[in-house]
Amino acid sequence: MYVTKSIGQGDKPTFYRELAGQLQGLLEGERDAVANAANLSALVFDLVPDLNWAGFYFLKSENELVLGPFQGKVACVRIAVGKGVCGTAVAEARSVLVPDVHEFPGHIACDAASRSELVIPLVKDGRVVGVLDLDSPTARRFDAEDQAGFEALAAIYVAASAL
């Protein structure tokens, strides 16, 4: 049984390095993408402060993302590529950090309490296969350090999983 360890809330780079170390231990030897996504969602939701949603959407066709494992309130099941923050991250193959979702044109509100969002594309062999989506009830919750930290976590997930 894997047990998470509390991480001090000092500086963000140290926090994300420690979180990445826990994620590597958690995923070690497991290749199942769904199991790994479920555990990454739980780890992040448990240890990262001020989140109200953490989870995955996977590209099931060239035009549509479908909900994967997550922690938080029930969510939108399907998102068109190019729509909302998740669809934009896929269409542009880049991370999208939104300080205030009310200022993002076309934001898809699955949870009305969400105020900021960070979406990281999952890239395998040069193509986007899904996204890691993080929501917070606090405006401007995410910054460049959070983005870099979650990009590193997403890379660990992709490397560990048979996608």
Q: How many CA atoms lie within 13 A of 160 on its CB side?
A: 23
Domain segments of the chain: what residues? Answer: 12-160
pLDDT(6) > 80: no
Here the tokens at position 44 are 């992040």
The pLDDT value given to residue 78? 97
The pLDDT value given to residue 1? 61
What's the pTM value of the predicted model, to 2 decimals?
0.94
Average pLDDT, the chain: 94
The pLDDT value given to residue 123? 98
Residue keyed to tokens 């001020």: 50
DSSP one-letter string for 22-70: HHHHHHTT---HHHHHHHHHHHHHHHSSS-SEEEEEEEEETTEEEEEEE
Strand, coil or helix: 16:
helix
The pLDDT value given to residue 136? 96
pLDDT in tens, 18-35: 999 999 999 999 999 999
Higher local confidence (pLDDT), 5 or 136: 136
The pLDDT value given to residue 101? 94
CA–CA dist 92, 74 (Å, integer): 26
Burial 84-113 (b: 16+ CB within 10 A, else e): bbbbbbbeeeebbbbbebeebeebbebeee
Strand, coil or helix: 19:
helix
Class of domain 12-160: alpha beta
CA–CA dist 104, 88 (Å, integer): 11
pLDDT(54) > 70: yes
CA–CA dist 145, 15 (Å, integer): 10
CA–CA dist 41, 121 (Å, integer): 15
pLDDT in tens, 132-155: 999 999 999 999 999 999 999 999
pLDDT in tens, 84-125: 999 999 999 999 999 999 999 888 877 788 999 999 999 999
